[in-house]
């Protein structure tokens, strides 16, 4: 999934320390072995087992807890769901980094770079098991927890299917924009949506909330990914900390490229550049200008705005207190990088 801006909204941070404690409890404290490798992935230890602070932002579990508090007055019952969501997310990062041969995660060697391919597969599988176990071991009504697990596993299945499609796209000559958006909805949107849905379910909110919030999260997730795709092409290196056209240098099939491949002239430029042994600054500039001329930059912005508006519309239909609505709007704004 795409990189988030540095700071997440302050009001999401309230349960951060409680979340870390619950995550640590589920992962376990046994010295060495796979649990130590899991603590490295979660960011609490370095590769020598010394204490470290290299955690992710925990956006998804904090959204889960926030939603539970919003709708049920108490984040507590959703804690096992938050733990599960974060561990599922981390399992997917461990496997994704291996699949994509990405060497770095949170500024440190990716798990597969440290433990090798075979053990990175095991490590992801292990985090996956701990994720589900977190909910099976929790207290509270079994039917609520079962409904939460059902929603979580649906989303996990979709996330994996999205990753399958994404990898499949790499070897295809063209991909339609609809196919690309469906892939993003599955790969990025489903788990983000489930984060809010699990909060609603575990807090015992009326049944209208979970599916609506899942769809809201999905739209926000798509808008978020499309913004990232936009930044990967036209982002300002001073702002993103990444080189201009980074996605082009890495030959990624992000949305601008997917759109460009449907325009004969832009497609010719992209194919020529992507076939080169190394892609330099002039190549990037050529692709960006071909995309701009073909209207792909505009289309990309328009699609992101459409999904952002789709999220807002879903929110408008939900019975929510004014303050709650404002905060969810703030989360959406954060995700799509709007100034608030």
Binding footprint of its own copies on the chain (CB under 8 A): 33-34, 91, 95, 98-99, 117-119, 121-126, 128-130, 132-133, 136-137, 141-143, 145-147, 149-150, 153-154, 156-157, 160-161, 163-165, 167-168
Nearer to its own copies, 165 or 269 (CB): 165
Q: How far is the CB of 235 from its own copies (least distance, A)?
A: 27
Minimum distance from residue 102 beta carbon to its own copies (Å): 12
* 35 or 324: CB nearest its own copies: 35
80 or 245: CB nearest its own copies:
80
3-state secondary structure the chain: CCCCCCCCCHHHHHHHHHHHHHHHHHHCCCCCHHHHHHHHHHCCECCCCCECCCCCCCHHHHHHHHHHHHHHCCCHHHHHHHHHHHHHHHHHHHHHHHHHCCCEECCEECHHHHHCHHHHHHHHHHHHHHHHHHHHCCCCCHHHHHHHHHHHHHHHHHHHHHHHHHHHHHCCCCCCHHHHHHHHHHHHHHHHHHHHHHHHHHCCCCCCHHHHHHHHHHHHHHHHHHHHHHHHHHCCHHHHCCCCCHHHHCCCCCHHHHHHCCCHHHHHHHHHHHCCCCCCHHHHHHHHHHHHHCCHHHHHHHHHHHHHHHHHHHHHHCCCCHHHHHHHHHHHHHHHCCCC
| Residue 133 CB, nearest approach to its own copies (Å) | 4
Q: How far is the CB of 138 from its own copies (least distance, A)?
A: 9
Nearer to its own copies, 23 or 328 (CB): 23
Q: In the complex, what is the shortest distance from the CB of residue 9 to its own copies, in angstroms, rounded to a whole number?
A: 30
Identity of the residue, 88 or 273, whose beta carbon is nearer to its own copies in the bound complex: 88
Report the residue number, 18 or 140, with the smaller CB distance to its own copies: 140
Minimal distance in Å, beta carbon 117 to its own copies? 8
């Amino acid at each position: 999934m795409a990189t988030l801006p540095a700071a997440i909204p302050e009001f999401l941070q309230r349960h951060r320390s409680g979340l870390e404690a619950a995550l640590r409890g589920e992962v376990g404290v046994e010295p060495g072995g796979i649990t130590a490798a899991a603590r490295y992935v979660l960011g609490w230890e370095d590769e020598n087992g010394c204490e470290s602070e290299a955690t992710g932002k925990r956006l998804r579990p904090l959204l889960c807890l926030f939603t539970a508090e919003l709708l049920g007055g108490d984040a507590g019952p959703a804690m096992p769901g938050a733990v599960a969501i974060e561990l599922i997310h981390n399992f997917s990062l461990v496997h994704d980094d291996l699949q994509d041969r990405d060497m770095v995660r949170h500024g440190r060697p990716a798990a597969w770079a440290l433990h090798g391919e075979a053990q990175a597969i095991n490590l992801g599988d292990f985090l996956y098991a701990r994720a589900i176990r977190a909910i099976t071991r929790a207290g509270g009504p079994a039917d609520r927890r079962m409904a939460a697990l059902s929603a979580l596993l649906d989303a996990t299945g979709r996330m994996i299917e999205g990753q399958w499609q994404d990898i499949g796209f790499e070897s295809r000559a063209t991909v339609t924009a609809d196919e690309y958006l469906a892939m993003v909805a599955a790969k990025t949107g489903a788990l983000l949506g489930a984060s809010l849905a699990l909060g609603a379910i575990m807090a015992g909110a009326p049944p209208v909330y979970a599916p609506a919030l899942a769809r809201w999260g999905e739209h926000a997730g798509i808008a978020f990914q499309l913004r990232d795709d936009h930044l990967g092409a036209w982002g300002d290196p001073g702002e993103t900390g990444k080189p201009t056209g980074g996605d082009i240098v890495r030959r990624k099939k992000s949305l601008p490229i997917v759109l460009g491949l449907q325009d004969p002239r832009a497609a010719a430029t992209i194919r020529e550049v992507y076939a080169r042994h190394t892609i330099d600054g002039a190549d990037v500039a050529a692709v960006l200008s071909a995309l701009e001329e073909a209207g792909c930059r505009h289309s990309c912005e328009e699609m992101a705005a459409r999904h952002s508006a789709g999220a807002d519309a879903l929110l408008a239909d939900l019975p929510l207190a004014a303050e709650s609505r404002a905060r969810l709007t703030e989360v959406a704004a954060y995700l799509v990088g709007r100034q608030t």
